[in-house]
Amino acid sequence: MSGIGDLAINLAASVIAGLAVWLAGRVRRRRRAARMRRFFGLGPGADCVIVAPRHAGSPSRHSVHQTDVAAMLEVAGIARDCDSRVELRVQGMSPRFDGAFGANTEFCVGGPDANTRTAAHLETFLPGVAIDRYQDVGDALHIRVGDDRFSRVPGVDEYVVLAKFPTDGRTLFVVCGQTSTANRAAARYLLHHRDDLVGRHGLDGRFCLVLRVVRPRAYADRVVRVVADVTDTAFAGPPPGHAATAPAGGSADRPDPAPDALG
């Protein structure tokens, strides 16, 4: 009988230990999910608005570059993980915003030439950030933050601004790249490095980063580096007398950008 009793005790102890491990794991997963929802400003049943850019190289005002579609799928995956609903608005296709933000988290994707919503966000909330127009500077598509300039070298280096900030009681994300490849790279970075971002900026903190996409011709959007945390400058605005103008030699007579240009 003692052997049977010992077996029963050991079995009960194993069940209790297994249940404790399962409960601990469940609590950790719930806490992790809650932290992710808070960081993205999303939750079960909440709406997530994705504002897509038009295809810069397409004659159709309703066309979206396939790589920007991939970027939006990354964002939609974030919303899905938070059990939120997704509403897609395409630049030039959806009705104009009425100016009210509502209570929805918004992900605004694309450069200001391809997405007027991005242009408005840069001017209103990120006054220290500017992107020169393609017709002025060509493929370089300089991103300017204060006195710093990040210039595109096609196939070698491409840059994207990734920003998060609260406004009117909800969360706004801006993904503003020089190309659609850079946009997707930033969306992937946001998804896969959210714990790092929380560690550096907190669950509710704002940030503005410049990311570099390394040799996109060889690696597409897979190799990404943070080159600058420009949070203070981006939200504070440019220094006195600073203007985002094209450098000498910029031409307004360049042809339409390649399909990937301007995001």
Domains annotated on the chain, with CATH:
40-236 (3.30.379.10)
Question: Coil, strand, or helix at residue 22?
Answer: helix
For residues 62-83, give the mean pLDDT: 89
The pTM (predicted TM-score) of the whole model is 0.81
Pairing of strands 129-131, 47-52: unpaired
Q: What are 1-54's pLDDT values in tens digits?
A: 567 777 777 777 777 777 777 776 676 777 888 899 999 999 998 889 999 998
210: number of CA atoms within 13 Å, CB side? 26
Reference 141, options 100, 110, 103; nearest CA is 110
Confidence tier at 63 by pLDDT (50, 70, 90): confident
For residues 247-260, give the mean pLDDT: 34
Percent of the chain with pLDDT over 90: 52
Q: How far apart are CA 235 and CA 209, in angstroms?
A: 11
Cβ–Cβ < 8 Å for 45, 90: no
Least confident of 24-28, 82-86, 142-146: 24-28
Q: Strands of the chain (E only): list them.
A: 47-52, 85-90, 105-109, 129-131, 143-145, 148-150, 157-167, 170-177, 207-214, 224-229
Six token digits for residue 190: 């946001």
Which residue did the predictor score with more confidence, 54 or 127?
Answer: 127
Q: How far apart are CA 260 and CA 144, in angstroms?
A: 20
Angle at 205 between CA 102 and CA 85, to 5 degrees: 40
Tally of helices (H runs) and strands (E runs) in the chain: 8, 10
Please tell me the predicted confidence (pLDDT) of residue 16.
79
Least confident of 10-14, 142-146, 255-259: 255-259
Please tell me the predicted confidence (pLDDT) of residue 167.
86
Q: What are 184-196's pLDDT values in tens digits?
A: 999 999 999 999 9
